Amino acid sequence: MGSFQPHLEKLKNLMHINDVQLALISDRMLQDMSIGLQKSTKSSVRMEMLPSYVDCLPDGSERGAYIGLDLGGTNLRVLLLTLTDPIDGGAKFDATIKSESYKLPKEKMEGTSAELFDFIAANMGDFAIKNGLEGKMLPVGFTFSFPFDQDRIDHAILKQWTKAFNIKDGVGEDVVQMLRDAIARQGNLKCEVVAVCNDTVGTLVSGVAEDPNCQIGLIVGTGTNAAYLEKVSNIESVSGYKDDRFMCVDMEWEYFADTGALNNFVTEFDKQVDATSPMPGEFIFEKMISGMYMGEIVRLILCQLASVGNIFTEKCLGDLRTTGGFDSRYVSDITEEAIAGHGETDVVTSILASVGVKASHGDVHTVQLVCEFVSIRAAHLCAAGISAIARKIKANHPEQNDLVVTAGVDGSVYAGHPTFDTLLEDKTDELCRNHGVKVRFIRAKDGSGKGAALIAAGMYRNRK
């Protein structure tokens, strides 16, 4: 490695955000959260702080069968959640889930909204046939992983298509109506869409079913965002509720840094990622954290190291020359091998070979380190955000000393990256240490779809 060590040191420093800086980022997010909750000041921040109208969390008394739909970053998931009397005789339901995942074809992410919703309804039909649900009237909870405005739980006006969705219409329209229309066009499906939620809200609710202390929902997947339980009296746009009630707020934190909060930490690589992304200038926070961009940041760093002669001496860059040529999954796989600590390099070598790169032993080590720097920065930025939420929750419960709150987490990066969870947890601990609050993380597997079905179950419970 010898001669290029200084280069790596420089890169490490460039990607490093120290604890003092992370604490300042946390402060800024906390401040933006409060500003975003007020109608009069909201326009000066970019985080949306959207009320979800989910104010009734599962209490274990729900029973029955519900459909959860989860339109995420790259897949559609349809699930049947069945809540029955518990065999242990306790009060809380026993839950069983049957689910199917359907890969979203690229053309459905770039066509019209009607085509996308017809695809959803068609797969609901397929799911109904496979599970003998044809003709059954079931309540549906719909997780729609995009920003939308709500004034009630089954009404959602789309604000923007995000992630890799490049659909030309649908913004300003009600996605629940679009889904209902597609279900009607499908013909033989009988079901009632009773609730819609963002994936972070779904994850929070499904976290509550695991741990009643869950007050945060976090997604780190194709995109990243978080939701938390806020006092209704702090959400200016919501009225008609008793002040002591709590409601899930979808922060839409992917927009957090779009007012410049991270300008001191945005590197030349982040700028390049941004410039070639479908939405330049937006989602800066997400672009430094989530799975849609992690591989791309690594790719750009490797290209630069190669251009100055620090790696890949044969100048054979293969697919690394192309935007999107290095999948974020590789970052996880390479990290997995690196942390095993046996000095093995088979995985990284074969990944590099698969993208057409011939690497020396030294190159392989450099690639491992680059993946590490990028992963650490992503997890630490996420920790800055989570610590801000924990402090906000703590401020709502001043009477509780040493408050512990649970965060339910899902998403491909959180679930698939071998060190992300520990990096996030450890840094959140450090950032919360002097604030009288601690965050406990739980994996909310299939959280968002299950959460939507649980919200539907709650609606049904309330209607009875």
Residues in contact with ligand GLC by CB under 6 A are 73, 145-147, 162-163, 198-200, 219, 221, 223-225, 252, 254, 286
Active-site residue (options: 108, 163, 231, 394): 163
Q: Which residues pair with 103 in a beta bridge?
A: 75
Would residue 163 show up in a list of annotated catalytic residues for this protein?
yes
Show Cβ contacts of residue 43 under 8 Å, excluding neighbours closer than 6 positions.
none
How near is the Cβ of 281 to ligand GLC at its closest, in Å?
A: 15
Active-site residue (options: 174, 199, 274, 446): 199
How near is the Cβ of 453 to ligand GLC at its closest, in Å?
A: 18
Residue whose C-beta lies closest to ligand GLC: 223
Q: How many CB atoms lie within 10 A of CB 119?
A: 20
Question: What are the distances in angstroms from CA 103 to CA 67, 108, 123, 180?
Answer: 18, 10, 10, 21
How near is the Cβ of 155 to ligand GLC at its closest, in Å?
A: 17
Of residues 215 and 225, the one with the C-beta less far from ligand GLC: 225
CB 273 within 8 A of CB 287: yes
How near is the Cβ of 377 to ligand GLC at its closest, in Å?
A: 18
Integer Cα distance of 261 and 36 in angstroms: 15
* Sign of the CA dihedral with 44 first, then 167, 140, and 219 last: negative
Of residues 281 and 398, the one with the C-beta less far from ligand GLC: 281
Of residues 166 and 360, the one with the C-beta less far from ligand GLC: 166
How near is the Cβ of 160 to ligand GLC at its closest, in Å?
A: 7
Q: Measure CA 195 to chain center.
A: 20
Of residues 219 and 424, the one with the C-beta less far from ligand GLC: 219
How near is the Cβ of 294 to ligand GLC at its closest, in Å?
A: 14
How near is the Cβ of 362 to ligand GLC at its closest, in Å?
A: 37
Integer Cα distance of 206 and 315 in angstroms: 49
Integer Cα distance of 294 and 284 in angstroms: 12
Would residue 199 show up in a list of annotated catalytic residues for this protein?
yes
Of residues 200 and 277, the one with the C-beta less far from ligand GLC: 200
How near is the Cβ of 94 to ligand GLC at its closest, in Å?
A: 29
The set of catalytic residues is 163, 199
